[in-house]
Amino acid sequence: MEITKTNFGDLAKERIEELHAKNFKFERKELTTSQIRGILDLVNKVYNRVATDSEEKLSSDVLSDLAYIKVKIAYSSGRSSVVKNFITHTNFTENLSDVLKSESKTNFLLFARYVESLVAYFKFYGGKN
């Protein structure tokens, strides 16, 4: 499902509720809020630069940073099956790929809001630190 200006929060809530319903463990030995906050921190570093840029098209430096985030996520997913399940179920990589293809500031800002919403709903549904 495409992330839009009005559905990013609902989409994140739906994904986290599905994980919760599948008895996706929110215990320390499983996925933690800290792990997904780490993902959010990667996105936020780019967000802080993009939000103040007046151009609608993302710069080559920003696109390079987003491509690097994709690699870091792949590495984290390879190290932890619970992170991989989270990334897969939330369509993180596919959504990031869509931003890279579009090179759109608007699409990136929506993606960043979606990621922030994932962290918020994860914590709301019992995620541990």
Does residue 2 fall inside a structural domain?
A: no
Domain assignment of residue 73, yes or no: yes
Residue 21 lies in a domain: yes
Instruction: Tell me what the mean pLDDT of segment 13-23 comes to.
Output: 85
Does 38 fall in a domain? yes
Residue 3 domain-assigned? no
Looking at the domain assignment, is residue 32 inside a domain?
A: yes
Residue 129 belongs to a domain: no
pLDDT recorded at residue 85:
87
Gap between the Cα atoms of 29 and 39, Å rounded: 18
pLDDT band at 113 (very low <50, low <70, confident <90, very high): very high
Contact 127, 31 (CB under 8 A): yes
* Percent of the chain whose pLDDT exceeds 70: 93
**Assigned domain for 100 exists:** yes
pLDDT digit string, tens, across residues 67-95? 999 999 999 999 988 889 899 999 999 99
For residues 34 and 70, which has the higher predicted lDDT (pLDDT)?
70
For residue 34, name the pLDDT band (cuts at 50, 70, 90). confident
What is d(CA 94, CA 49) in angstroms, rounded to the nearest whole number?
22
pTM: 0.90
pLDDT at position 96 over 50? yes
Q: Where in the sequence is the domain holding 42, given as residue range(s)?
A: 8-124
Flag whether pLDDT at 37 surpasses 70.
yes
Among 72, 53, 52, 50, CA closest to 63: 50
Domain tally, the chain:
1
